[in-house]
Amino acid sequence: MTGSQGPAQRLLGAGKRLLSSLLATGETRLRLAVLELEEERARLVTIALLAGLSLILLLLGLGTLTTLIIVVFWDSHRLTAIGASAAVLLLGGLLLAAWVMRMARQRTLLASTLKHLALDRELVEKHRDPDR
């Protein structure tokens, strides 16, 4: 039946098939992006809940430890104990804040989608320029 079609009809058919293929590829990439966003949201909620719980427990533990250190040294070196406890807590807080900032700068959102889109672009450019 393709032999009875004219060049314009074959060109139109090829254009429709190309458009259909592009739409299917776009839909696949969009579904991948949505799936990654849902996974990232679930991961962030879990991280936020665990971080909140760990912060509460750490604050209670540090408060108790600081109180214990101050009570032990109350008669002889109370100001030294208070200063040393404060310095250790502040230094630990600053180090953790720097670590969190470094982790926050890492790119993980839609990494797989961006990788697949780059691969698609590379394949299109390879077919467009066969000398590559």
The H or E element containing residue 101 is helix 74-104
Report pLDDT for 3.
54
Q: What are phi and psi of 129, to 5 degrees?
A: -120, 90
Give the Cα separation of 113 and 29 in Å (integer). Answer: 7
Give the Cα separation of 85 and 53 in Å (integer). Answer: 23
Give the Cα separation of 72 and 69 in Å (integer). Answer: 5
111 versus 63: the higher-pLDDT residue is 63
| pLDDT per position as a tens digit, 22-44 | 888 888 888 888 888 888 888 88
pTM to 2 decimal places? 0.47
Burial of 2 (0-12, 13-18, 19+ CB in 10 A): exposed
Q: What is the mean pLDDT of residues 106-113?
A: 72
